[in-house]
Structure 1
Amino acid sequence: MAPPAAAAAGRLGAARRALLPVTVEPVLFLFMVGSYMQYTALQSLIYAKVCQERYSSYVCDTLDLAEHKPQEDEVQDQSSYWMLLSNVALAVPSVISGIYIGTWSDVFGRKVPLLLPPLGQILSALAPVDLVILASGVAGALGGFAGMILVVMSYLSAVTATGARTARVGVLEAMSLLGGFIGPFVGSLVFEQAGRTWTFCALLIINVAIVLYVVLLVREVPPPCPPPAADSLCETLTQLFSLRHLLDAILTSVRSREGRRRRYILMLLASSFVIMLNSSGEMHATYLFVRDAPLAVEDSTYFAYFAYKYGISSAALLIGMPLSRRYFPLSDTALSGLGLTSKILGLIWLGFAVNKAMLFIAPLVMILNTFCIPPIRSMLSKLVEDNEQGRIFSMVMVIESLCSLFGSLVYNSVYPATRRHLHGLVFLLGAASLLVPVLH
């Protein structure tokens, strides 16, 4: 029997080995907790302000009554419009900034880019809550949520062996979903107990914690091919903001490669676009969908649904994906196809939901939908060189930002136009579009 000191040392060593793989997972988790807190609070803020600017407090408090149906229709339509503008302000700047951030991570190192998205959230949280569009634009200029996903994915790919990459990417994706589970819950709790101001204060605290974690605990990963040392500030700025970064990111996805790898890269990027378009659109339209008749749920029920959906989705990634890879010989392609099938069935179910029971069953039907993207990200990282990880993920980030924009545009345009005819038609059309990546 081992002496107590040796046993304690053994337990400590085991704990260190268990913690060793943890790198940027807490960064993405905390960032997404803050992002989803902000997103749900922002939706409620827009909905409340649109109503208050047009109608009395009595009408806004009883908007779901049949006698206020015209007013509800007006608030629904105008809220959809302002949510669209907010998403445009976030997505458009992040398209350009994300390409630079991804290329910087390949050229200058992968640690400093991790600081930019949380700094954007800090500045956004400090902006007055009435300046919704400005706050979204500031966050987007420093990468936004898509930029954060880009930098953590490129960092993880740089420090993870090829064989373990799909599993690690799956865990990282689960951190995003766990943020979606905990963020609305914490956000609604803070919102109900202390109000919107303290919700944005909590967002500020979370992102300061991210900055401290990165500075103190995340090690630098030297770039494969560092640039020559700059002799002046002007030369440094020229290196940072050269248009060559944009060109290199685009060429990474289209240049000729051995073994038809270019074709596979383009097919994977196209599939990512369709999948992310629907994921973004679904998220943006669901709030208006559940607030409208026949569901007509309160904010608290929506927050519960949102947290519940992301909670079981993250559990599926953390538990289901490792088990499926361990006990079944499923390739990355098969895993993604399984996720697409689940997502299609879930969107169809959601489209026909007419009561709370059906609404809360929908996440169970699409429980494997989170299997769609992690295998695609992993396959992309394996198809490019080590010094192209940031560039290829910057292209994924561009797709994600465009999907945040176009998903909101498509769903928030189709939903108001079709809600009076078939309440959930927008989700049925989304399910049909997902047949495109299935056929690929």
Structure 2
Amino acid sequence: MKGLYLVEPLVAFYSFASFLVYPLIQQYVYRRLWQELTNTTYPVSDNTSRCDPSNTSSHHEEVQKAASLFSLYTELFSMIPSLAVTLILVAYSDQRGRKITIILPLIGSLFYALSFLAVSFFELDLYLLIVSTFISALFGGSGTFLGGCFSYIADLCEDGQQKTLRMAGVDMVIGLLSGVASLSTGYFLQAAGFNWPFFTSALFQCFNLLYAVFILEETLQRPPDDPLDGSPRRTAMRQLACGVYQLFAGASRRRNILLVLLLLLFSSFSFANMGGLSMITLYELNQPLCWTEILIGYGSALSTTVFLTSFVGVTVFSRCGVPDLVIILMGILSVMAGMTLVAFAKTTLMMFLVRLPMLLAIMPFPVLRSMMSKIVSKNEQGVWGCWEWKKVKKPRRRRPSSLERKVSLGTRTTILPSPETGGLEWEDWKPCVGFECYRKMDKH
């Protein structure tokens, strides 16, 4: 049977399956810890009963502290191995094909969903989820999968307009199905409990894996191995290591210090921003809000609007000539204001309104990448592709490598490049949201 060159079904089912589970993970952990620490049944029918001030046996702070530590351990055991595996896979896929960056993350996602289903159904030890998170991260993360899909499309489309239209369709599929899944999680949980959402997610991931293995065709032909040059994997990793070394070896001390400072600023802001957002669900579950699963679903869906508003903010401020440092400062202040108001939000209405000050929270990411790109020489942009792109003025068109397209997704941060000030036309470097960036990258 002849295969297909369509990754759109993969992206659609992956987005729905992933966002069907993500809002439920912290809720499940919170409920299990509630039962273990309080020796009482979690009040599913009426969440406000556990927040009754007269209930002296409640241990809200103890449960919230344990859930926060559990979330921290989970993130650490997933982020670090996932990023390392992503670097290896994207270097390997340039020589051995794109499907490996699609199939392996699907295996990890399927294992992740089945692990949650097993722990939920058989009521196994809760900390087995941390082990399953680490094992699934060894297969790559969502950044590896989505980056592989966009590299797959870039390999197929030679015409720029066709590539733009097809990637725009994939972009639309991601936004539509992730939003639908986030909105439906609360109703699904209320009607069927945790087991059925986890089973549904695992079913979609299993279908995805079968499609990727047996139906999806490979876009790159595997080159013959050169016995004199060592194994292809060793060659790819050697090229990656040499590129990272050259990034710092041939520059002045002042430039390296500036680059390290920008990297530290980017990393610390990313840690504070994404880490703070992950704690919002725990705050919504606890006093004084005591949100139900339906309200949490609506809040998660509303939080996705920050990517659109940050795109508008970067666009407007860049056109008005606002300095980069001012844009970064506005984004940092946006996060600070939003997180501060979250701490004082005591009602449901206020908790929804605190999303307003955070509408510009993603703006520092593109500007910091742009600043780092400006201090890196043009012949180092291939290694630096995980942070930013810079146009190289050559008459020959060059297809970007998968490393340049995909590594930045491993940080789980949406990329919004801002226009370069030295030599690029505005139409080539309009700020972009999410995977729109890859369409602009593929032009050069």
Give me the whole-angstrom Cα distance separating, in 2, the residues matched to 1:291 and 1:397: 30
**2:306 maps to which residue?**
313
Q: CA RMSD in A?
A: 4.9
**1:14 maps to which residue?**
none
**1:47 maps to which residue?**
30
Q: 1:124 to 1:398 in 2, by over 3 A?
A: closer
1:322-351 CA-partner distances (Å, limit 9, x unpaired): 9859x9477996996465554444334334
Aligned equivalent of 1:281, options 275, 280, 287: 275
SS of 2:50's partner is coil
- Asked if 1:365 is matched to 2:357, the reply is yes
Q: 1:55 to 1:276 in 2, by over 3 A?
A: same
Deviation at residue 39 of structure 1 after TM alignment: 2.3
Give me the whole-angstrom Cα distance separating, in 2, the residues matched to 1:193 and 1:59: 16
Work out whether residues 178 and 314 of structure 1, in 8 Å CA contact, stay in contact via their aligned partners in 2. no
**1:199 maps to which residue?**
197
1:208-251 CA-partner distances (Å, limit 9, x unpaired): 4544665689775549xx865267xxx76x72797536625634
Work out whether residues 353 and 359 of structure 1, in 8 Å CA contact, stay in contact via their aligned partners in 2. yes
Give me the whole-angstrom Cα distance separating, in 2, the residues matched to 1:343 and 1:165: 35
Aligned residues: 371
Aligned equivalent of 2:98, options 94, 104, 110: 110
Work out whether residues 82 and 139 of structure 2, in 8 Å CA contact, stay in contact via their aligned partners in 1. yes
Give me the whole-angstrom Cα distance separating, in 2, the residues matched to 1:173 and 1:321: 20
Task: Using the TM superposition, name which of 163-172 and 32-41 deviates more.
Answer: 163-172
- Asked if 1:83 is matched to 2:71, the reply is yes
**1:185 maps to which residue?**
183
SS of 1:366's partner is coil
Aligned equivalent of 2:341, options 349, 361, 374: 349
SS of 2:225's partner is coil
- Asked if 1:121 is matched to 2:109, the reply is yes
Give me the whole-angstrom Cα distance separating, in 1, the residues matched to 2:365 and 2:6: 21
Work out whether residues 185 and 294 of structure 2, in 8 Å CA contact, stay in contact via their aligned partners in 1. no
Q: 1:265 to 1:109 in 2, by over 3 A?
A: farther
Give me the whole-angstrom Cα distance separating, in 1, the residues matched to 2:102 and 2:14: 11
Give me the whole-angstrom Cα distance separating, in 1, the residues matched to 2:163 and 2:247: 20
1:169-209 CA-partner distances (Å, limit 9, x unpaired): 99978876656533332332322222222111221233245
Aligned equivalent of 2:285, options 277, 291, 294: 291
TM-score, normalised to structure 1, is 0.65
Code of the residue aligned with 2:357 in structure 1: it is V
Code of the residue aligned with 1:42 in structure 2: it is I
Task: Using the TM superposition, name which of 128-137 and 209-218 deviates more.
Answer: 209-218
Give me the whole-angstrom Cα distance separating, in 2, the residues matched to 1:269 and 1:25: 34
Give me the whole-angstrom Cα distance separating, in 2, the residues matched to 1:296 and 1:143: 35
Work out whether residues 94 and 142 of structure 1, in 8 Å CA contact, stay in contact via their aligned partners in 2. yes
Q: 1:64 to 1:306 in 2, by over 3 A?
A: same
1:133-192 CA-partner distances (Å, limit 9, x unpaired): 232123211112243354456567776999999999999788766565333323323222
**Structure-to-structure mapping, 1:237-316, within 5 angstroms:** 239=233, 244=238, 247-248=241-242, 250-251=244-245, 254=248, 256=250, 269-310=263-304, 312-313=305-306, 315-316=308-309
- Asked if 1:73 is matched to 2:80, the reply is no
1:360-417 CA-partner distances (Å, limit 9, x unpaired): 112233224344546767864423986874435665356559xxxxxxxxxxxxxxxx
Code of the residue aligned with 2:79 in structure 1: it is A
Code of the residue aligned with 1:229 in structure 2: it is D
- Asked if 1:143 is matched to 2:160, the reply is no
Q: 1:270 to 1:171 in 2, by over 3 A?
A: farther
Work out whether residues 110 and 222 of structure 1, in 8 Å CA contact, stay in contact via their aligned partners in 2. yes
1:65-101 CA-partner distances (Å, limit 9, x unpaired): 2224652222112222222232233223213212111
TM-score, normalised to structure 2, is 0.65
Give me the whole-angstrom Cα distance separating, in 2, the residues matched to 1:251 and 1:165: 34
**2:422 maps to which residue?**
none
User: Which structure's residues are more often helix, by fraction?
Assistant: 1
Give me the whole-angstrom Cα distance separating, in 2, the residues matched to 1:141 and 1:81: 22
Work out whether residues 157 and 381 of structure 1, in 8 Å CA contact, stay in contact via their aligned partners in 2. no
**1:97 maps to which residue?**
85
1:31-56 CA-partner distances (Å, limit 9, x unpaired): 34333322222212211111222334
Q: 1:283 to 1:334 in 2, by over 3 A?
A: same
- Asked if 1:36 is matched to 2:43, the reply is no
Q: What 5-or-longer segments of structure 1 have no aligned partner?
A: 1-21, 402-440
Aligned equivalent of 1:64, options 51, 55, 63: 51
Q: 1:255 to 1:206 in 2, by over 3 A?
A: farther
Give me the whole-angstrom Cα distance separating, in 2, the residues matched to 1:89 and 1:202: 25
Q: Relative contact order: is structure 1 or structure 2 higher (C-alpha 8 Å, sep ≥ 6)?
A: 1
Q: 1:387 to 1:178 in 2, by over 3 A?
A: same
1:121-144 CA-partner distances (Å, limit 9, x unpaired): 112222322441232123211112
Code of the residue aligned with 1:44 in structure 2: it is Q
Give me the whole-angstrom Cα distance separating, in 2, the residues matched to 1:217 and 1:365: 46
Task: Using the TM superposition, name which of 333-342 and 179-188 deviates more.
Answer: 333-342
Q: What 5-or-longer segments of structure 2 have no aligned partner?
A: 374-386, 393-397, 414-444
Work out whether residues 174 and 317 of structure 1, in 8 Å CA contact, stay in contact via their aligned partners in 2. no
Give me the whole-angstrom Cα distance separating, in 1, the residues matched to 2:56 and 2:176: 37
Deviation at residue 104 of structure 1 after TM alignment: 1.7
Work out whether residues 86 and 136 of structure 1, in 8 Å CA contact, stay in contact via their aligned partners in 2. yes
Q: 1:303 to 1:329 in 2, by over 3 A?
A: same
Task: Using the TM superposition, name which of 342-351 and 75-84 deviates more.
Answer: 342-351
Deviation at residue 287 of structure 1 after TM alignment: 1.5
**1:416 maps to which residue?**
none
